[in-house]
A and B are shown apart, each in its own frame.
Chain A
Amino acid sequence: MMRTIEILLVIIIITSAFIIASFYAVLPIPRRVSPINLRRLALTTLQTLDVDYDLSEIVFLPENDTLWGQLQIALSACLPPNVVYNLTVYEVQSGSTGELYLPIKSISNAESLGIGSDAASYLVASSNVTFRVVPEKIGEHGGGGTLYILNCSDANGWWITGYTAHTLAEDLYNLLSPYFQITIMVQNTTQLGQILNGTSLQGETVQGAVIINTCGEAVPIPAGYYSSSGVGYDTGAGSYALYCYTLGQKVREHNFTWVSIVGYPLYYVCNTGLFPNQQNSWGIYGMKRVGAAGLNAFLKGLDNQSYSYDSGWITGSPGVVYLSSDSMYYANYYGIYPSPYQTATRALPSWITSTYHLTVTTYVLNPVGGWIPGAVFRNTGSGSLFALGLTRTPDIRLTVLGLLSDYKPRLYRSEYTATGTSRLVVLQLGLVGGV
């Protein structure tokens, strides 16, 4: 009997041990066993919201309720429904005793963050901390200010080997748009026709605009009026040189600056709809050869001389040419560094300045003998031609440098400010619902 009692005592002891062990050996709730990594989710959410520096902008504008409302909407929109948040912005102040974090703004979508939460912090910098350069806009003080980049989907290019007109247009846009009041990509030849008519595309100032032809030696020609007989087509000569003449007249009429980025200017006309079955004799369809008559006609139109068909070749090939000293200076000023020496095979002759009443306002490349490989020619009346008579492949940095050297927009360098330049954003996430 005694042993049975002893055993019962043992059982009681073991039962007590089991109960006590079970009491202390608490298994975690399933949510903690297999949790979502809230810290990472918070960090990636902050990074997503700051993809275009939107978050950086908002945290420095704590009084702007509209932007903070949008931030709340964006947070709610990108987090799962069972995740609640608290976002707090701290001002970072540096002192002799270390850094001090002062809360300046907080938003949340719940009173508490549930039984478990995690947070990630993200340091954003004010735009003041960045060394910024704000360029003066061309046309800011009157006259022009519009840049048209021909990005015509219905026009092919020639002598832009290795590029497409679009890629050149894209690069030109990125490089030049900060310097102009408005930059417009001309998407097709119809829009080009509108500009030539003096009609604005987006309410911009047409007069005094710069037009960059990204098609190289080819020039887009609009169908219809500008390609019709007597306006664009010279029936007698069987040539579209007349279009180049009309173009020259329009450049004069609207005081445009026409930019030819490479090769012999206006050597072909191109429009895939107008010339679907014609090619430039090198296999590029949608293009028709005008030859040297194009440039001659353009210069006559620019100088308001009467039209006559002249197919005489006027350019020369001086070979290796060098950036002018002015260009070297402005290359440094604007931070654009093309190769200082280039190869010119289509340099314009210097005699055109007297024949067509042109003044060279900017030499991009040094003249060689009687040849001007790259310069801006302004007619004494109105209108300009910027021609780079270089061999392919084009370097559009030269085009950019030439235009900037000619217009000379100033660069305003903003001051570096050291105080209040950093803020810490802490996003705390919590899970609600479930077990």
Chain B
Amino acid sequence: MAGSTIDHLVSVTVFLGALMLFIGLFNQTIQTAIIYQHHRVLAVKCSDLLDNMLLNPGMPIDWGKSNVTPTGFGLQDPEFTQYRLSPFSLMRLQSAVGDTVYYPKTGQYYSNITVGFGNFLLVPFTEAINYSLAARLLGINGTYSFQLTVTPVVTVSISKLQSNPLNLSVNVKGRGFPLPNAMVSYCFITVKTGGGAYPSFTTDYGTVYTNAEGSAVLSFPSVDEDNDSYVLIAYAHLSGLIGVGYYEHVTHDENYVVPFISDFEERTVIIAHSYDVHGGDNPAAIAYNATFVLLTEDFTLREVPMENSTGKVGKINYGEGKPYKTITIPTYNPGILVITYKKSAVETGVVLMPWGISSLAFPVVFGDDPSSSDWVTTDLRQVIVNDIAYQAKLALWSLEGYQVIG
């Protein structure tokens, strides 16, 4: 009797122990499967969300060219179909990178997509679309978080080979891959030194082809590196891929012009003195002269005259009681605002601002930071922004976690 009881007890104990062990083992497998399923759903959601952003222009469809707050989020260019994005909608996205800039004279904070000295894109927060609004409009607020990165496919980097005579090397690359035999059309703007109330400039245009290493050398023997400020803007084209690059040299950078977008609808840009924005040494009044260039259909750059009434020339000073100036971009075609400035006859410089994100191939990073997330899924699309080839990458992660009871 006692033996049978012991046998019973041992068998039940072993059975229960084995049962618990196997429940745990099966649960482990099921948990992993469920998490995998969540990840799969996240990947599908990422692909859908990316298409949703890129294949609809938003509401209203021309919100990129106006000051309205959209009621539907989308980045497609309303004048096209498929994966063509509006350079202006992208410009209105509040950048996730770049330090915010405060300009006391307007009392506003500006989203900053500045790429090095002299290449500014500053959009007021009041006009920019912030991430939380986009998430709400996409219907993922509180459930998913994302980061959208739109970067140019073709990199056109320009470096100086020699100062006297001036030789510049234009290097055209894809994703780490040089592009030989690419057509490079360029616009070279030189700020004239000498008298006159406002800075004047000369423009040279030309076309060259890259060699087997994907580079081309441009020579400008008439430029004096010590006395001349200049900027080179180059567009590269190969088999449907178009990229843009730029290079600037200034003889004076203590006082310069900082352009702020003021109004998208009216196409106005504030011309501010650098001392009022970034401070610095030896502040002084400067005169400026603005011009606008755009890329034509035959991949050459063309200057668009700006009328005097648009404020193309003027003088700005720093400090209180010295108001900023305003200029009006002459067109809604994407292009580059080139502002030459001078402090004196020999102290000059030049700054650029893209009108439409693609004109200077500025990258866009919009959304939240994925670095602290457990699982981030990404998806890619090739997109066109005003003929410039970009790659759009969406990183998506869940905010709800994957709690599995077990």
Nearest-CB distance from A101 to chain B (Å)? 23
Contact between A47 and B382, CB atoms less than 8 A apart: yes
Given contacts A7-B15, A33-B36, A153-B303, A77 and B179 within 8 Å (CB-CB)? yes
Nearest-CB distance from B300 to chain A (Å)? 10
Chain B residues whose C-beta falls within 8 Å of the C-beta of A76 in the assembled complex: 174-175, 177
Q: Is B381 an interface residue (CB 8 A)?
A: yes
Q: Is A95 an interface residue (CB 8 A)?
A: no
Chain-A contact segment, one of B96-104, B135-143, B233-241, B252-260? B233-241
Nearest-CB distance from B340 to chain A (Å)? 13
Most buried by A among B42, B197, B240, B378: B240
Chain-A contact segment, one of B24-32, B344-352, B366-374? B24-32
Contact between B307 and A164, CB atoms less than 8 A apart: yes
Among residues 166 to 190 in chain A, which have CB atoms less than 8 Å away from a CB atom of chain B?
A: 166-167, 185, 187
Chain-B contact segment, one of A20-28, A323-331, A412-420? A20-28
Among residues 1 to 25 in chain A, which have CB atoms less than 8 Å away from a CB atom of chain B?
A: 1-4, 6-8, 10-11, 14-15, 18, 21-22, 25
Chain-A contact segment, one of B4-12, B163-171, B263-271, B273-281? B4-12
**Complex CA–CA separation, A28 to B29 (angstroms):** 12
Question: When the two chains form the complex, which single residue of A11, A48, A151, A164 contacts B14, counting CB atoms closer than 8 Å?
Answer: A11
Contact between A185 and B302, CB atoms less than 8 A apart: yes
Chain A residues whose C-beta falls within 8 Å of the C-beta of B179 in the assembled complex: 73-74, 77
Contact between B241 and A77, CB atoms less than 8 A apart: yes
Nearest-CB distance from B32 to chain A (Å)? 6
**Complex CA–CA separation, A76 to B178 (angstroms):** 10
Which DSSP category, helix, strand, loop or mixed, fits chain A's interface? helix
Nearest-CB distance from B260 to chain A (Å)? 24
Nearest CB in chain A to that of B36: its residue? A33
Nearest-CB distance from A79 to chain B (Å)? 7
**Complex CA–CA separation, A156 to B306 (angstroms):** 9
Question: When the two chains form the complex, which single residue of B8, B241, B302, B383 contacts A44, counting CB atoms closer than 8 Å?
Answer: B383
Chain A residues whose C-beta falls within 8 Å of the C-beta of B303 in the assembled complex: 153, 187
How extensive is the interface on chain A, given as a class?
Answer: 35 or more
Nearest-CB distance from A132 to chain B (Å)? 17
Chain B residues whose C-beta falls within 8 Å of the C-beta of A285 in the assembled complex: 308
Given contacts A33-B40, A44-B383, A187-B303, A54 and B239 within 8 Å (CB-CB)? yes
Q: Is A390 an interface residue (CB 8 A)?
A: no
Contact between B241 and A48, CB atoms less than 8 A apart: yes
A46-81, CB under 8 A of B: which get 1 and which 0? 011111101100100000001100110110111111
B30-49, CB under 8 A of A: which get 1 and which 0? 00110010011011000100
Chain B residues whose C-beta falls within 8 Å of the C-beta of A165 in the assembled complex: 305
Most buried by A among B239, B375, B380, B383: B239
Nearest CB in chain B to that of A29: its residue? B36
Given contacts A44-B83, A74-B240, A166 and B379 within 8 Å (CB-CB)? no
Q: Is B114 an interface residue (CB 8 A)?
A: no
Chain B residues whose C-beta falls within 8 Å of the C-beta of A49 in the assembled complex: 239-241
Contact between B175 and A79, CB atoms less than 8 A apart: yes
Question: When the two chains form the complex, which single residue of B11, B33, B197 contacts A7, counting CB atoms closer than 8 Å?
Answer: B11
Nearest CB in chain A to that of B388: its residue? A51
Nearest CB in chain B to that of A56: its residue? B240
Q: Is B153 an interface residue (CB 8 A)?
A: yes
**Complex CA–CA separation, A245 to B85 (angstroms):** 52
Contact between A22 and B153, CB atoms less than 8 A apart: no
Chain A residues whose C-beta falls within 8 Å of the C-beta of B331 in the assembled complex: 166-167
Nearest-CB distance from B33 to chain A (Å)? 6
Among residues 320 to 347 in chain B, which have CB atoms less than 8 Å away from a CB atom of chain A?
A: 330-331
Among residues 192 to 230 in chain A, which have CB atoms less than 8 Å away from a CB atom of chain B?
A: none
Contact between B8 and A14, CB atoms less than 8 A apart: no
Q: Is B93 an interface residue (CB 8 A)?
A: no
Q: Is A350 an interface residue (CB 8 A)?
A: no
Chain A residues whose C-beta falls within 8 Å of the C-beta of B82 in the assembled complex: 47
Count of chain B residues with a beta carbon within 8 Å of a chain A beta carbon: 65
**Complex CA–CA separation, A80 to B391 (angstroms):** 10
Q: Is B223 an interface residue (CB 8 A)?
A: no
Contact between B379 and A37, CB atoms less than 8 A apart: yes
Nearest CB in chain A to that of B40: its residue? A33
Nearest-CB distance from B24 to chain A (Å)? 11
**Complex CA–CA separation, A6 to B305 (angstroms):** 96
Contact between B22 and A18, CB atoms less than 8 A apart: yes
**Complex CA–CA separation, A200 to B377 (angstroms):** 59
Contact between A10 and B18, CB atoms less than 8 A apart: yes
Nearest-CB distance from B402 to chain A (Å)? 13
Q: Is B108 an interface residue (CB 8 A)?
A: no
Chain A residues whose C-beta falls within 8 Å of the C-beta of B18 in the assembled complex: 7, 10-11, 14
Contact between B304 and A166, CB atoms less than 8 A apart: yes
Question: When the two chains form the complex, which single residue of A25, A79, A272 contacts B308, counting CB atoms closer than 8 Å?
Answer: A272
Chain A residues whose C-beta falls within 8 Å of the C-beta of B389 in the assembled complex: 48, 51, 78
Given contacts A44-B381, A164-B330, A77 and B22 within 8 Å (CB-CB)? no
Contact between A55 and B240, CB atoms less than 8 A apart: yes
Contact between A36 and B378, CB atoms less than 8 A apart: yes
Nearest CB in chain A to that of B197: its residue? A276
Among residues 69 to 123 in chain A, which have CB atoms less than 8 Å away from a CB atom of chain B?
A: 70-71, 73-74, 76-81
**Complex CA–CA separation, A47 to B26 (angstroms):** 47
Nearest CB in chain A to that of B173: its residue? A77
Contact between A187 and B203, CB atoms less than 8 A apart: yes
Chain A residues whose C-beta falls within 8 Å of the C-beta of B309 in the assembled complex: 283-284
Given contacts A6-B11, A36-B378, A50 and B36 within 8 Å (CB-CB)? no
Chain B residues whose C-beta falls within 8 Å of the C-beta of A55 in the assembled complex: 239-240
Q: Is B317 an interface residue (CB 8 A)?
A: no
The 4 closest A-B pairs by CB, nearest first: A77-B174, A74-B239, A3-B11, A44-B382
Chain A residues near B (Cβ < 8 Å): 1-4, 6-8, 10-11, 14-15, 18, 21-22, 25, 27-28, 33-37, 40-41, 44-45, 47-52, 54-55, 58, 66-67, 70-71, 73-74, 76-81, 151-156, 164-167, 185, 187, 272-273, 276, 283-286
Known: A74-B174, A81-B175. 19 other contacts (CB 8 A): A4-B14, A7-B15, A27-B32, A47-B82, A48-B241, A49-B239, A49-B241, A67-B239, A73-B180, A74-B239, A76-B175, A77-B238, A80-B175, A80-B380, A153-B303, A156-B307, A164-B330, A273-B200, A286-B308
28 residue pairs bridging A and B, Cβ less than 8 Å apart: A7-B11, A11-B15, A14-B19, A33-B40, A34-B40, A34-B375, A36-B378, A41-B380, A47-B82, A48-B83, A48-B241, A48-B384, A70-B181, A73-B180, A74-B174, A74-B179, A74-B239, A76-B174, A77-B173, A77-B174, A153-B303, A154-B305, A155-B305, A164-B305, A165-B305, A167-B331, A273-B200, A285-B308
